[in-house]
Amino acid sequence: MLINKPPDTGSQLSRHPLHQDQQYFPFGPSDAIVCAWTAIETVNRANGCLVVVPGTHKGPVHPHEYPKWEGGVNPLYHGIQDFDPNMPRLHLEMQAGDTVFFHPILIHGSGTNRTTGFRKAISCHFANDDVCRYQPITQIRFI
pLDDT tens-digit series, residues 73-115: 677 788 898 888 899 999 999 999 999 999 999 999 998 999 9
Tell me the sheet residues that pair with 19: 108
pLDDT at 92: 98
Of the candidates 27, 1, 35, 18, the residue with the CA atom closest to the CA atom of residue 103? 35
Helix (H) or strand (E) holding 124: strand 119-127
Is the model's pLDDT at 69 over the cut of 90?
Answer: no
For domain 2-139, give the fold: Jelly Rolls (2.60.120)
Q: Which residues of 79-117 are buried (b: 16+ CB within 10 A; e: fewer)?
A: bbeebeeeeeeeebebeeeeebebbbbbbbbbbbbeeee
pLDDT at 141: 45
Give Rg (Cα) of the chain. Answer: 15
**Which three-class secondary structure state does DSSP give residue 31?**
helix
As a whole number of angstroms, the distance between CA 57 and CA 108 comes to 10
pLDDT band, very low/low/confident/very high, at 127 (cuts 50, 70, 90): very high
